[in-house]
Structure 1
């Protein structure tokens, strides 16, 4: 059994403890001859538990802690339905690819041994360090003359730069380096600091346009940045290109940022990398792919620390696996993926850090947002197929998603996800693709763009159905992007009655220094239809708890019911742009309501913002209703939406008077 608690909550998911009881029951029920056969390592009725230790040997039988396998992959090679791989403490630098699947009632299980701390690592040690000297700088200057008189050469003179030979591939945009289990950053300008979700940001200055970034703070000599990589971000579009030419005060990009968003003065953020001259700050590295040489800035020898580099993308490759459980393990610099035929896999009580990494975002000229797949569908814990579950896990530090839910009828519940999407793309804490997905009781915070990105797609051969997004606590979103929300959904899709309900959505944190726009709690953007948005509570959001945008095909047949914290209606006023949409029983200011009914929507029984709702304690974000609240006995009854009031008539807002207060977030 895992050393971590196996709490599942109220939705009846199968627990590892239950599976263990089932296994024990099977063993207990086996006849004596079968039990004897298993003792001698022969396959018999029931299930086998194998053991793994870093000090084991794959030539052992693995049937006891005294003769364990050395690699988890050895378990994966021999296990069949009902078997368990019990893993002893240690770090396992491998990608596990199961040879077999479990079956209904007989899963294959990989779990930590009782009391064990098990890490599956995608990183490998980097050793062989030597201090970089002035002679080395002179040699580097033969190919990069700007390195000779630079911040890098100053750092070398101070004794702070070290190097080693290591092959990390040909693309610096995929390199990831760690010192003592914390991620270092590629040398760049401006130096962003080491907090990936709160970097120091430089913005394009006056005179910028299209592919030209003008900035008086950019003082490097003419030609210094030629050939460098440039990451730009504006509004909701992040992209990487190269520098065609540079001079003090400006750089010209080889390709303008894509979509309609070119370089915009004061609003476009940017950074420049790929020049060793910038290697001059704590926690930085520079990689020369031609020479296969890694440089790091360190005030003492890197040999005094644990320095590692990412070498493997995956801890477990479950592309062809089903009925497989992974329980109680830590993932470092790696993640888990499933395939389109994967079914009934369970990932339980995992701790994943640095799940996915990349630093380049390439796009076509017209790619505006979710059409770009890198970071959206292929990062974080990737759950594809059907009836798979991620539960009770703590997932953090990913350039892309925390979890990607593709396929159909998959579930993410009771997870804590934070510090993800540190490139500010269309990735999210949980990217919900496919359909019929369930995302409940998760806590998500500090994300580059959205906490939950709710898109829509169908799966061949399966009947599409609605998503359920409920009881999540999401905060500190939009740290590196705009035009988004705690829960964001787009564009022109029939959501088939998908429900976004009972979520806490608060403290949107738009990128500092830019013109703020559209940071809401829930944002149905560009013509989403047949969506129920009910009983959500929001605070400290620019556009309130709910925002509707009718551009595209129009925002039709949506139900916006009993939300607390205000609404924004955006482009829902033209003829037929919002027919069938109902806005009932909400508390908070409704911005853009003038003329909104011209688009066809119906508004009724919303509390006038001039009337004090008389909450229990709004300053402490307790938005329940006091005895004297005018929101009592004031709502249109909506069965299944506003049940539970002890009054004769339901209440306005997200909390029914007299009913137990609902809570959101991971239940642990």
Structure 2
């Protein structure tokens, strides 16, 4: 990797950490770590210097500038006396996880000839043509041995590894190629594969089908086909016209603006650039974390920008607050199989350890803007943690079970977030217990989620799986709309909320959805069954998957909903109870359905029709509750970040 910044800590007077409460230290790019840091005129140079000396109640006030370091606090605050890292009033502070790459020179025909001694396919390739056009530059730099973790930026915008097809620079709307007729098991057949036999041998392949995105190596290649070293895990097959794929790891594909190729053996980075890279700021990721809070508690980070880096708390962390964080390019990787032979680490790659990771208990992230991550925007782990009023977009560009917010553990609160443009789910809810702590329900409410299902199907804006007893976790008052599938498949479901494969004891209430193939709610009770769910007052329809066996849906109640309900036969045979749902053929007479205003008009037949459910459908000015997500006469509730 690029050499990480070494912070030289000067000797600290013993009294520095024993000083009176509430001391403020200052940091500025013009400062010196040998200064006392106690005034704006004598600031430290590095935030880590603050972290070395601060005690409970102290504040590190950070002046405008870019800081290239990973801050590891020496100690924690206490309840009521947190340690605070804060951007100064009006300051623009960026913690940069990337380092500048310099020393560029133009690649020549002689260089191509040298490369062709070990890679003969480079000599007559799109790369060699780009060299002739003067577009390829290179420099020697150590970015480590794992190409799948290399991330390169030009003027703060991420470049893309050279691959076929060229995906373009929009990570959530890439150009996609699909396996053609003749594909099966581990072989991708496609007449568009016109490179010579052997060209793709040893390349990396990314495939995506159904709910599985995976990576593999190309074992052999011919004109019109490549054969992988193993069939894609979980699904164990390549499916014609449904499996999307891309191939990387060959310098011959370096022929498009904004792309790069890295040779780890030669420690050489190649870049396609229309002009001299020296005129631009070229950077490569070097550090994973801006703040390593895995050993900290009662600490606040306020008003800080993150670039190519993130923040993580630990199992024992408590009382951490992250407020007004602006993070871009939080996490990056392109290997999502990780040596697994089946689903395990493929589907869940990045769920637990990418994006802003909040572990421990009673920690929170609020009022933040997070974008661009191979994995999550936020990983909410542990117990009793909170994500509120955040804007999250362009995450999970590898298309796994990572999400805008990946919720693990239990007793978590996710409210009033706006999430858009994600590879799979806006919120991925996976139930886990925390050792030593009594579990409790999650609350997922008042979130506005759109642009999901861009790279993976059988999915929802809010997705939860599998066969967990959710202790009454509530998914309520969410607006779930306009999924944007980038695949050609029409086989697999897309819904607003998907309780998949036996999820039970959920309350799904007062949600609104539109544009979802399977409606606002989808319940899958196949296999283990899906029991004791309350599906109340939702607008937008639903789909049910149950076998016709007694007990498969025992205790599940579907009351007061508006929109068509599909799949009733198996569900009712299994014990599900329906009541007071508006028949699909009856027009609910919304205020303005064309503009997605699904409140009820005065003439709506959904008025005065509901079963009273205290705490669920209170507020109607009619004698009886309304059907659907908006009670007649009540103030209209809104979802999304409140800023």
TM-score when normalising by structure 1: 0.93
Match of 2:597 in 1: 622
Matches within 5 A, 1:48-63: 48-63=23-38
Are 1:483 and 2:451 an aligned pair?
A: no
Query: Are the equivalent residues in 2 in contact too, given 1:386–1:408 (CA < 8 A)?
Result: yes
Whether 2:496 is the aligned partner of 1:534: answer no
Matched residue SS, 1:463: coil
**2:500 corresponding residue in structure 1:** 525
| 1:267–1:515 Cα contact (<8 Å) kept | no
Structure 1 residues without counterparts, runs of 5 or longer? 1-37
Query: 2:623 pairs with 648, 661, 668, which one?
Result: 648
Shift of 1:590: 0.2
1-structure distance, mates of 2:487, 2:228: 24
| Structure-to-structure mapping, 1:418-497, within 5 angstroms | 418-497=393-472
Note if 1:547 corresponds to 2:522.
yes
Whether 1:251 and 2:226 are equivalent positions in the alignment is yes
Q: Determine the structure 2 residue equivalent to 1:376.
A: 351
Question: Aligned residue for 2:210?
Answer: 235
2: CA distance, partners of 1:595 / 1:160: 61
Match of residue 82, structure 2, among 87, 103, 107: 107
Deviation at residue 575 of structure 1 after TM alignment: 2.0
Q: Offset at 1:493?
A: 0.2
Q: From the superposition, tell whether residues 42 and 482 of structure 1 become closer, same or farther in structure 2 (CA, over 3 Å).
A: closer
Conservation of the 8 A alpha-carbon contact between 1:489 and 1:523: yes
Contact 1:41 1:61 in 2 (8 A): no
Q: Output the CA distance in 2 between the equivalents of 1:463 and 1:535.
A: 28
Residues 477-626 of structure 1: pairs in structure 2 closer than 5 A: 477-571=452-546, 573-626=548-601
Number of residue pairs aligned between Structure 1 and Structure 2: 630
Q: Which residue of 2 aligns with 1:636?
A: 611
Match of 1:399 in 2: 374
1:66-105 paired onto structure 2 within 5 Å = 66-105=41-80
Query: Who is 2:111 aligned against?
Result: 136
**Alpha-carbon distance between aligned partners in 2 of 1:404 and 1:396, rounded to the nearest angstrom:** 14
1:207 maps onto 2:179 in alignment: no
Partners of 2:348 and 2:600 in 1: CA distance: 44
Q: Secondary structure at the match of 2:629?
A: coil
Normalising by structure 2, we get a TM-score of 0.97
Residue 167 of structure 2 is aligned to residue 192 of structure 1: yes
Distance 1:131 1:342 in 2: 49
**1:386 matches 2:361:** yes
User: Which residue does the alignment assign to 2:141?
Assistant: 166
Secondary structure of the equivalent of 2:85? strand
Q: Structure 1 CA distance, aligned partners of 2:495 and 2:576?
A: 20
Asked if 1:219 is matched to 2:219, the reply is no
Matched-pair contact (CA < 8 Å) for 1:320–1:342: yes
Comparing 510-519 with 652-661, greater Cα deviation is found at 510-519
Residues in 1 aligned to 2:610 and 2:568: alpha-carbon distance in whole angstroms: 19
Equivalent residues of 1:517, 1:542 under 8 A apart: no
Change (3 A) 1:51 1:604: same
Q: Is the 8 A contact 1:561 1:586 kept in 2?
A: yes
Q: Distance in 2 between matches of 1:83 and 1:165?
A: 43
- How far apart in 2 are the matches of 1:345 and 1:552? 41
Query: What is the CA distance between 1:369 and its match in structure 2?
Result: 6.0
Question: 1:62: Cα distance to partner?
Answer: 0.2
What residue ranges of structure 2 are gaps of 5+ in the alignment? Answer: 1-12
Instruction: Give the aligned partner of residue 124 of structure 1.
Output: 99
Q: 1:275 aligns with which of 250, 256, 261?
A: 250
Once the two structures are superposed, what CA deviation does each residue of 1:132-185 show, in whole Å capped at 9, x if it has no partner?
Answer: 000000000000000001000000000000000000000110000000000000
CA distance in 1, matches of 2:320, 2:382: 13
The answer to whether the Cα contact below 8 Å between 1:369 and 1:426 also exists between their aligned partners in 2 is no
Task: Tell me by how many angstroms 1:365 deviates.
Answer: 5.9
- Please tell me whether residue 340 in structure 1 is matched to residue 334 in structure 2: no
1:308 maps to 2:280: no
Q: CA deviation at 1:373?
A: 4.2
